Each structure stands twice: as structure tokens, then as C-alpha cells.
Amino acid sequence: MEPDPLSQHSGSLMRRLNIVVVQRDFPVGDVAGNAERVISALGEAAALEPDLVVFPELTLTGYPPEDLLYRRGFLRRCDQALVEVVDAVRGTDALIGHPLARDGRLYNAVSWAREGRVIGRYAKQALPNYAVFDEKRYFEPGREALTVEVGGVRVGVLICEDIWEELPALRAAEDGCELIVVPNASPYHLDKRARREAALTERANDSGKPIIYGNLVGGQDELVFDGRSFAAEPGGRLIGPTPAYADGLFAFEYSREGVRALNWEPDGPENPLAVIYQTLVRGTRDYVLKNGFEKVLLGLSGGIDSALTLAVAVDALGAEHVKAVMLPSRHTSDLSLELARAQARLLDVEVETISIEPTYRAFLKSLGLGGQDPGVSGENLQARCRGAALMARSNASGAMVLTTGNKSELAVGYCTLYGDMCGGYAPIKDCVKTRVYQLAEYRNTLSPAIPAGVIERPPTAELAPNQVDQDSLPPYDVLDEILARYVERDESVEDIVAAGFDPDTVHRVARLVQLNEYKRRQSAPGIRITPRAFGRDRRYPISNRWLP
Amino acid sequence: MEPDPLSQHSGSLMRRLNIVVVQRDFPVGDVAGNAERVISALGEAAALEPDLVVFPELTLTGYPPEDLLYRRGFLRRCDQALVEVVDAVRGTDALIGHPLARDGRLYNAVSWAREGRVIGRYAKQALPNYAVFDEKRYFEPGREALTVEVGGVRVGVLICEDIWEELPALRAAEDGCELIVVPNASPYHLDKRARREAALTERANDSGKPIIYGNLVGGQDELVFDGRSFAAEPGGRLIGPTPAYADGLFAFEYSREGVRALNWEPDGPENPLAVIYQTLVRGTRDYVLKNGFEKVLLGLSGGIDSALTLAVAVDALGAEHVKAVMLPSRHTSDLSLELARAQARLLDVEVETISIEPTYRAFLKSLGLGGQDPGVSGENLQARCRGAALMARSNASGAMVLTTGNKSELAVGYCTLYGDMCGGYAPIKDCVKTRVYQLAEYRNTLSPAIPAGVIERPPTAELAPNQVDQDSLPPYDVLDEILARYVERDESVEDIVAAGFDPDTVHRVARLVQLNEYKRRQSAPGIRITPRAFGRDRRYPISNRWLP
């Protein structure tokens, strides 16, 4: 259908579209609440005089709703909520995301609402079913473009993954749009901003149309959605992004001259460590609060992992909602106690000391291990005495335990199941040890949070006399590079050896990664910051005879 | 292509095909070993004078290989293994399953081998991506039928999910086959045999062709493949199945008169409890052995869950590879101790007693809880003292801890994380409490294994004075029915109330199921026996505000 000449002409006077992107959190499962959030945002947006308000992908369910989508009762509630929110759309158009059941099939859809009516529907064509995504488990792909005229401009619609493939933007352009808008639920990982910018630029170039990209913000289990909505024009000009994790309403003006930011300042070049740190803070805050907790506690050892986790927790929830527990044993050095106390003072965090010696001794006696060197059993027992003590404090106080393990140790199993792995959430689960140090140093550039002594001392589990991690593990810079290649990039042992790493070390690390799958399977969820975390994006068999 | 008249004529003399189904375990990841298994089975099959030997789906990788399929090194090894096994195919044809990479895409394929060459290839058309299956994560669907003439008979090929849809069998028939063979990797769940028989009969009727269905046996993490290969003819006649969990080579003779069992007796009607019990035994044995363990240990409480788990463990591994640990506290009754000892004697299992009183008391003191009633904190601490003691024995002895929780308690969170949930594997994880009783009674019909007193006493966690489960939970027959509806069949709270259940109880149960997702996420893997276990087939958000 060609636009009629009259509307094109009148358009020449008023062909400036104000598109307001609602970059906010829409919590998973909160259908009634999300309907209220939509209605409230429409009210706030009125001050910006929008032509179109764009909500994130699957606005009403939150993202990803996972197997809630199998529940007919849940889908019924979404249908009701859609009626409520569409009725509230007055004086502007709005794009609202929701599951759409039709003829026994389910679609990942958006409804285009105007003056209390749905005037167009679009179903996502490209369904991601890789990494953390399982959309083919639930949805059928859409097949058709949607173009709607608003303020004299024909606007095409895509959803999220659609812009990572070639065809949907081309179909939208063929359908006669002049501009494309894309609601998203795109989680953060390293380099994600650059990848999004490259993809959107490519789509804008392919289709010859500017594209406005609106994204969700907020943490959902292991995913953290970073917002950073932006626009791309054919030729490569980028508008934005909005600052990472900014909750708000961001207006993009479209005219034939291009797209511009109306009520916000585009963010500068990315500081990767800053964005990772923000991701940890946002993910931790949202997981804790969304699960009904107000407070957290953690075991503070005087080492780098718990020190960074403590800083994240304080930045996420405020010092008054965080408690540190020191759990010394016979192997705990004075240095550890001093550094832990120093950090607690620095961050103004309440600290309690519970010696694990009496319980550890009681275990050794009960188990008949008192007279001998209990070896690894004894190391694990110490960790489990700590875990049980933390969980008891959690039960009594209603504070969630944060577990402090990093990706390097979880990869090779340098951690104790039901011991230091106890906890509801693992903020630094996807940060390798070398990155933990970088993040600690980055955090200290904002304000003093982690004592220099914590950063400078050699890492140690302090489960045996004079133990340091490097007794059991390769140096962390070597280990972390092998892990990046083996776990994150699926390189084979042969490839890694060919890249110059010691063959024995590579074999040993790969074998440890495989043998410790059972531990990771019982680990707490934690924040994903890489394209391959130990979470829903890495699905390995436990029973597995593949020896790499 | 039409068969040529000569081969059809010569066929009239020898058109009896002997199709040997290799119903065995092909462990995941063991590419080199699986190649040896293929070569060895071909050698054994020679005595049966087969025309075609059918191996299970994805023979070389085992099923499901999961993200191993993302590793180029793994796929390279599969290609090498395929060359080795094809070279060993002499004097018979063989169908071997493997991943097939072509033009940057991966297919779930079989190669038809004859005299050291691949003479045909088929790629699975229907890719399951629901329940426990994620095949669209890895594979592209095939589009074409494969028909190969062997012994004058044109034989079509499908793979597993292909027979659950309508089109692939029709395409095979259109392609001119006279008979269809189907390699499978189909895991057990309740009623699976009846569902398979119905599906295969429907496909045989649709296509007008007899179908021979060969399946894998063996446990792979939470899945247990039950074998039970069989055939269906148009008109509804079934041949088989082979007995559940029978490892072996099963010959099916095809002629124009029909299909018949050559070297085996078809199994009778299914006894569902018997097959569930066999599933628990096979799953436990394979998980333990495949993960490099020879022995298991478990906490024996005198209650029904640990009693059934002990019986399963003994049947799986032999009494000499099983150790029971009694972990009494101040709340443990004499009855519990007597019943636990009686069962250990009955099954001739080594039993050790470790009182948790000293460690529990040490914790209460360290935590400053000595003078007060520690409530739930204290109950959890007792469970964690037990868990740590079991894990210490596991560390020292190299025995895997089996955890003894059932599906009812895992559903509503009536269990302690890092306490009774400690363990590497959970044999009865998918058995609701009422089914645990049924299975105990079934097991006793084989030989005395579980003392009557264990079955008759009221269930109790014995974590507080005179505690019984029914203080905190609805009666198990009510709870289990609500769980079947809410968890397994996705019925809404309203639907369940409409079916006559007490509204408060239904709401409470549904809420508990939701709130305890975090515990299940850190639970040990266990054996799936229903179409909806708490495993890879139920993917729920933890952060979830949907209040059913």
C-alpha cells in the first residue's frame, strides 16, 4: 500500500516523530504490576508529547518468562492485562510486547495500540535458541512485516533478534517503512554494546532505514539487561546510547534530517570495567530485592573475592543492609583478620566473628579424624563449618547469603560444595580471578573500598598451613587465558597447546573443567558478564567420557 | 526411482530381511569407545546373519551430547570415528548415528554403510525442542527422505522424533520404501511405552508401511533410556517390545507376511511399578559407574525415603558397594534406629552410626543459640551436620553420596539446602511420596528389602520433638494430586480448586512450589520418571512475581 499524497503532504509540515523509549525494568511474572508500569509510564510520557511510546520486548511477562509460558492461566492473565493497557493508550501510539496465542501456537508479539484499540500486530520472526535463549521452545516464528503510519511517517516494527539476522529488516523496508523501531530484551555481556552497534548499523545500511533500538534494564536471575537504547542511521551515524542501567523515558526525534536525542545526553565511549562493575551491582540488587530480601550477608576472609563481593553488595544495597561474617580457623592468618576488619571499617559494614574451631574440632572428633591429618576431607569440613554458620545466620536474620566464588575456581573445582559454595547468589561467578583484581582496582578509583593489602597478597584458601592457591593451580594469568579459550571460545586442547601453552597444564585444566561439572550444577546462580558463563548458556553433561 | 524388475524378481526368492537392532548403551562423549562398541557389535551380530544392523540415534556421541556439539575438536573426532566404523561394516549393511557438519550447519544424521562405504545419508527432519530436548539449539532439520535397497527390499529411514510427527513417514512412503527403520534415543517416562506404541501404529497406518523401532538403553544424568525396541505394522499389530533395559542384539525378520521376533521373546503387558523401579536401579547404577565411582553411601534414617533409596542402591550396585550411615540426634526415636538397623541387616549392608549431637551442640554454642529454641535455624543445622558428616565420609572413602529426597518435598521445599539435599545423585527425586510407598511395597514383592515398620509409620523429619510431616504439609495423597496437576499438567490454581480441592491448600502448595525454585536449582540431579520432572524439563525463573 502506498501512502496517500494528502498525508504525505500534510506530513511535510509535521513529519517530526517523537518516539519515547521506556527503558525500565518489567519484572518476570509480574503481569499485573507490569500492566501498571505501562500505564504509569504512559502518564509520565505525556509530558514529552510522544507520537509513539516503545516498551521492551515481552513487556507484560518480563523477559525471559521461561516455562511460565506453558501455563494457560498465565497466558490468560497476559491477555487481560493487554486489554487493560491498550485501553490506557490515549493521545499517543504505543508498542507493547506480550505473548500471543493463535490457533494453538504461541508468538512473541507486540501490539501497536492507538486510542484504546490495537491497530497492528507483529510477531517476532527470528527466534534465538542458542546461548541463554530458548525461544523455539515456546514460540513459532512470525512471517510478516508490520508497517503503521503515525504522524505521516510509515514506521516498521522488528523485535530484538530480528535485527541480528538479515531478512526481517529487508522485509520491513520492502513493506514500505521509512523508519524501523525495535523493542528488545537484550542482556549485557562483554562487548555487547559494540556488537549491537555493528548489527544495527548493518541493518540500517541493508535496509536504507534508520532504526531506533529500545532495551530493557534490570537483573533477572543470571541475566542483567543494560538498557543503552540507541539509534543507527544508514551510513553509520549512531545516536546514543543512553547511559548503561539508566532507568527512564528517553525521547528520540525522527525527521527526514535524521534521528536526535531529545531529553538526554548520549553516553561516551565505554569503559569496560565500569560497565562490568555496574552490571554486578545492578544484578545483585535486583536479584536480592526481587526475591523478597532486604539484606545480605557474606563470609569475609581478607581475600580478594570476598572483598570485591562486599564492595558490590554495599554499592547495591547500602552498607546498612550488608553484614560481614569472619569465620577464622587455626589456619587463618592475622593478616586476613586485619584486612577483613579494615575493609569492614572502610565500608562501614557490621562485622561479626564466629570461630569455626569448636565446630571443626567437634566434627573431627565425631568422625574419628582427630588423630590424623584429615587432608582434603578436613579442608572441605572447614569450608562446610563456615557454610553452615552463614546459613544459620541467614535463617535467623532473613538475610540472603552471597557466595563469593569466582569463575576460575568454579571452572576447575577449587571450591567446596555445601561449603564456600553455600549461598543464594554469586555476584562474581562469571569473573575470572584476573578480572576480579581489575575490578577491585577499578572500584578503588571511585572511592576507597578494598584495602591495598587485599589486592597485593598472594591468593590463599587458608584451609591448610601456609597454603597458597598456586600450590594447586597454575598462575592465574595462565589459567584464565586457558579458560577463556577452552570454556568461552570452545577451542580444543590441541588448539590451545598450538597457541603456546604448556601441554600438561592445558590437559590438566581441561580435565578439571570437565570433572567439576557436578559441582557447578549445584552452584548458586550468578551474574553473567561473558558470552559463555557457567549458567544456562553452557549445557554440559555431567556423565561425560569426552576427555579433551 | 522404481526398483528394477530383476531385483524385484530375485527378491521374490530371498525377500526376508534380518534386521538386528543393537539395543545397548553408548555413553555420552565416549567417541572412541562408542566406535569400538559399534565394531564389537558388528562382530557379534555376524552370528545372526543380519542384512542390516541398526544402531541408536547419535551412536558415536551418545545421547544427548549437549554443548559438546559446539566443540569443533569433538566433531572432528566423530568424523574420524565414523571413518573407522564404516570401514568395519562388511557382509551386512549398518545404520550408524552421528552429527554431520555440512556448509556450516550441523545435522542429526545417520549414515547407511555397506562394505566399507557410506551409500546413503539421512538427516533428522523433526527436531524436538521441548521438555528435556534442545535439538534446535544444535541442529538444522533435514528435508529429504532416504530409501536404500537391501536384499531386494527398499528400506526407508527416520530418526526418533520423526515418528512423532506426521510428515516424515509419509515422505518415506512417497520415496518408495516398503519398510521403515527408526534409530532412537528415547528416554523413559511413565506411559512412554503406550505412547510410543500409539505413535508408531499411527505412522504405520498413515504410511502403510511396517516400522521397526530400535532404542538405546542406559542412564545419562537425569534420563534413563529403556530400550524396549519393537515394531508396528499397518493395521495395528505390534511385535515386541523387547524387555525393558535389556542390553543386547535383537533380530527382527521382515518379509511380506510381516515382521517377527527372531532371537527374543516379546515382553508382556507393562507392570508400571516394576518398570519405574527398574528405571531407578538402572539410572543409579549408570550414573555412579559412569562418573567413576564404585561405591555409594547414604544417610539411613529409618524413614521410607532413605529405605527405598537404600534398596535401589543395593539392587544397582550390590550390597558390598553400599554403605549406610545413621546420624541420630536428640530427636531420633528408638524406632528409627531399630528400623534402620533392621533394614541394613536385611540387605546385608554395612552400617555406621555417627551421632550429630556433638557437632550440633558445638554449632549452637558457637552461634550463641544454646540458650534458646533455635527453631527452623536449628532444624536446618541438624540437617547440615548430617550433610557435612556424609560428605566427609564420601571424601575419605571415595563413595558417592546418594541423596534421598522425594519429589513431594522438593516441590514444596520441605528439605534443607546443604543438609539432607547434599549428594551427587537423587534416585527418587521424581517420585512423589505416595509413589515412594508404592515402590517400597512393590520392591518387597521381589524379596524382603524394606521392613514393614518403615512403611507403616507416619512420615517424620525428626528435627523437632514429636514432629510429623503432616504438622507442616497437607496429607500426601492430597499434596501429590495437587502437585501432579500443578507441576506436571500446568493446571492453574483455579482449575485445581474447581476440581474440588481446598482453595487455601491449593494456593499454599502453588506458592510453596514457586518460592522453593531456588532450592531445586541447587539440588542434585536425579532420575526422571514423569513427563515433567524437576530437571531440564522444567525451566522456571527463580526471580518470579507470578503468584498463581
DSSP string, A70-92: G-HHHHHHHHHHHHHHHHT--SS
Helices assigned H by DSSP within A367-406? 375-397
What the block records as the C-alpha cell of B238 is: 505390534
User: Residue A167 burial (CB < 10 Å; 0-12/13-18/19+)?
Assistant: exposed
Rounded (5°) CA angle B525-B530-B531: 105
Contact B339, A352 (CB under 8 A): no
In angstroms, what separates the C-alpha of A164 from chain B's closest C-alpha? 17
Chain B residue with minimal CA distance to A532? B67
CB contact under 8 A, B359 and A358: no
Give CA–CA dist A290/A293, Å, rounded. Answer: 7
Q: What is the pLDDT of residue A179?
A: 97
CB contact under 8 A, A545 and B27: yes
Rounded (5°) CA angle A179-A182-A184: 165
**B353 and chain A in contact, CB less than 8 A:** no
List chain B residues with CB under 8 Å of A291: 518, 542-543
Q: What is the pLDDT of residue A229?
A: 98
H or E stretch at A441: helix A433-446
Chain B residue with minimal CA distance to A494? B73
Q: Which residue has the cell 492507538?
A: A114
Nearest Cα to B302, choosing from B343, B256, B358?
B343
Nearest Cα to A298, choosing from A338, A326, A332, A336?
A326
Residue from A57, A140, A161, A409 carrying the catalytic annotation = A57
**B80 and chain A in contact, CB less than 8 A:** no
Q: What is the pLDDT of residue A464?
A: 86
SS (H, E, C) B266-319: CCCCCCHHHHHHHHHHHHHHHHHHHCCCCCEEEECCCCHHHHHHHHHHHHHHCH
In angstroms, what separates the C-alpha of B405 from chain A's closest C-alpha? 15
**B359 and chain A in contact, CB less than 8 A:** yes
Among residues 1-20 of chain B, which lie with CB inside 8 Å of chain A? none
Amino acid letter, A472: S
Nearest Cα to B407, choosing from B316, B298, B483?
B483
Q: What is the pLDDT of residue A472?
A: 85
What the block records as the C-alpha cell of A99 is: 505473548
CB contact under 8 A, B358 and A365: yes
Amino acid letter, B546: W
Q: Which residue has the cell 527470528?
A: A126
Helices assigned H by DSSP within A208-333? 272-290, 304-317
Mind listing the pLDDT tens digit of every residue in chain B (548 residues)? 344 443 444 444 558 999 999 999 999 999 999 999 999 999 999 999 999 999 999 999 999 999 999 999 999 999 999 999 999 999 999 999 999 999 999 999 999 999 999 999 999 999 999 999 999 999 999 999 999 999 999 999 999 999 999 999 999 999 999 999 999 999 999 999 999 999 999 999 999 999 999 999 999 999 999 999 999 999 999 999 999 999 999 999 999 999 999 999 999 999 999 999 999 999 999 999 999 999 999 999 999 999 999 999 999 999 999 999 999 999 999 999 999 999 999 999 999 999 999 999 999 999 998 777 788 889 999 999 999 999 999 999 999 999 999 999 999 999 999 999 999 999 999 999 999 999 999 999 999 999 999 999 988 888 888 888 888 899 999 999 999 999 999 999 999 999 999 999 999 999 999 999 999 999 999 999 999 999 999 999 999 999 87
Residue from A140, A149, A160, A429 carrying the catalytic annotation = A160
CB contact under 8 A, B366 and A355: yes
Give CA–CA dist A299/B233, Å, rounded. Answer: 65
Lowest mean pLDDT among A13-22, A482-491, B92-101, B222-231: A13-22
List chain A residues with CB under 8 Å of B361: 362
**pLDDT per residue as tens digits for the range A233-247:** 999 999 999 999 999
In angstroms, what separates the C-alpha of A381 from chain B's closest C-alpha? 7
Q: What is the pLDDT of residue B14?
A: 56
A468 pLDDT tier (thresholds 50, 70, 90)? confident
CA dihedral B170, B171, B177, B179 (to 10 degrees): -50
A536 pLDDT tier (thresholds 50, 70, 90)? very high
List chain B residues with CB under 8 Å of A543: 27-28, 219-221, 286-287, 290-291
**B446 and chain A in contact, CB less than 8 A:** no
Contact B51, B17 (CB under 8 A): yes
SS (H, E, C) A159-196: CHHHHHCCHHHHHHHHCCCCEEEEEECCECCCCHHHHH
A260 pLDDT tier (thresholds 50, 70, 90)? very high
Give the nearest partner residue to B381 out of A31, A362, A388, using CB atoms. A388
Residues in a beta bridge with B252: B19, B261
How high does pLDDT run on average in chain A?
95
Chain A residue with minimal CA distance to B383? A388
CB contact under 8 A, B395 and A389: no
Contacts of A373 by beta carbon, 8 Å cutoff, 6+ apart: none
**B75 and chain A in contact, CB less than 8 A:** no
Q: What is the pLDDT of residue A14?
A: 56
CA separation, residue A363 to residues A3, B297, B370, B481 (Å) = 80, 18, 18, 41
In angstroms, what separates the C-alpha of B1 from chain A's closest C-alpha? 35
Q: How many CA atoms lie within 13 A of B162 on its CB side?
A: 32
Determine whether A365 is an active site residue: no
**A contact test, residue of B36, B418, B519 with most A CBs within 10 A:** B418
- Parallel/antiparallel/unpaired status of strands B230-232 and B238-239: antiparallel
In angstroms, what separates the C-alpha of B527 from chain A's closest C-alpha? 13
- Parallel/antiparallel/unpaired status of strands B322-326 and B248-255: unpaired
Chain B residue with minimal CA distance to A140? B129
List chain B residues with CB under 8 Å of A27: 543, 545
Mean pLDDT for the stretch of residues A280-301: 98
CA dihedral A370, A371, A375, A377 (to 10 degrees): -30
A99 cis-preceded (ω within 30 degrees of 0): no
Give the nearest partner residue to B546 out of A74, A389, A490, using CB atoms. A74
Give CA–CA dist A32/A80, Å, rounded. Answer: 9
User: Residue B466 burial (CB < 10 Å; 0-12/13-18/19+)?
Assistant: exposed
Chain A residue with minimal CA distance to B366? A354
Does residue A5 carry a pLDDT above 90? Answer: no
Rounded (5°) CA angle B104-A533-A240: 85
List chain A residues with CB under 8 Å of B290: 543, 545
Does residue A548 carry a pLDDT above 90? Answer: no
Contact B196, B187 (CB under 8 A): no
Give CA–CA dist B229/B216, Å, rounded. Answer: 8
Chain A residue with minimal CA distance to B378? A392
Helices assigned H by DSSP within B120-166? none
Contact B180, B95 (CB under 8 A): no
**B128 and chain A in contact, CB less than 8 A:** no
Mean pLDDT for the stretch of residues A93-113: 97
List chain B residues with CB under 8 Å of A66: 539-541
Give the nearest partner residue to B136 out of A68, A136, A494, using CB atoms. A136
Among residues 293-332 of chain A, which lie with CB inside 8 Å of chain B? none
Rounded (5°) CA angle A423-A429-A435: 140
Q: Which residue has the cell 545526553?
A: A265
Q: What is the pLDDT of residue B373?
A: 77
H or E stretch at B173: helix B167-174
Give the nearest partner residue to B392 out of A74, A367, A522, using CB atoms. A367
CB contact under 8 A, A221 and B287: no
Amino acid letter, A526: G
CA separation, residue A419 to residues A112, A340, B113 (Å) = 51, 19, 52
Q: What is the pLDDT of residue B13?
A: 52
Chain A residue with minimal CA distance to B285? A543
A9 pLDDT tier (thresholds 50, 70, 90)? very low
Give the nearest partner residue to A137 out of B76, B130, B541, using CB atoms. B130
Q: How many CA atoms lie within 13 A of B47 on its CB side?
A: 7
Among residues 500-519 of chain A, which lie with CB inside 8 Å of chain B? 518
Give CA–CA dist B378/B213, Å, rounded. Answer: 54
**Which residue numbers of B are catalytic?**
57, 124, 160
Determine whether A192 is an active site residue: no
CB contact under 8 A, A384 and B384: yes
Mean pLDDT for the stretch of residues A315-321: 98
Cβ–Cβ pairs < 8 A, chains A and B: 227
**B164 and chain A in contact, CB less than 8 A:** no
Among residues 33-52 of chain B, which lie with CB inside 8 Å of chain A? 33
CB contact under 8 A, B544 and A424: no
A322 vs B472, residue with greater confidence: A322
Chain B residue with minimal CA distance to A376? B395
User: Residue B153 burial (CB < 10 Å; 0-12/13-18/19+)?
Assistant: buried
First to last CA, chain B: 58
Contact A284, A400 (CB under 8 A): no
